[in-house]
Amino acid sequence: MLVVAGALIINALVFSPLGDEWFFAIALLGPLATGLVAGARRQNWHLVAAAWALSGTFWLVIDWIVNNEDQIFHIVLAVVMVALTALGAGIGRAVLALTRKAKGPAMREAH
C-alpha cells in the first residue's frame, strides 16, 4: 500500500500544472531527493524506488495508449529513477554516518 500511495502522490504532482513545466525536474530530482531522505532516516529506500518505478510504468502505459510512442524513453526513465533513488539513499546514509562520526560518542550513545 505504501508503494501505491507514493506513486499516487508522485502522479498527482506530475499531472498537475506544475508537472507540465517541471516534469524533468520532478522525474530526475524527485527520486534523488526522496532517496536521500529515506537513506538519511534509515528507512527502506526500496519502497521509495518501487513507487518511482510504478510511476514510470504508469507513464509508459498511458503514453503507449494515448500516443503509441516513447515506450523506450519511459522504460529507460523508470530505470534511471530507480537508480537515482538508490544513489540518493546512498548519499543520505553517507551523510548520516559522517554526521554521527563528527558528533562523536555522544551521538552514538543517544541512539
pLDDT of residue 52: 98
Other CB atoms closer than 10 Å to residue 95's CB: what's the count? 13
pLDDT of residue 109: 57
Low-confidence ranges of the chain (pLDDT < 70): 105-111
- Distance, CA of 39 to CA of 30 (rounded, Å): 14
pLDDT of residue 102: 83
Instruction: Say what the pTM is.
Output: 0.86
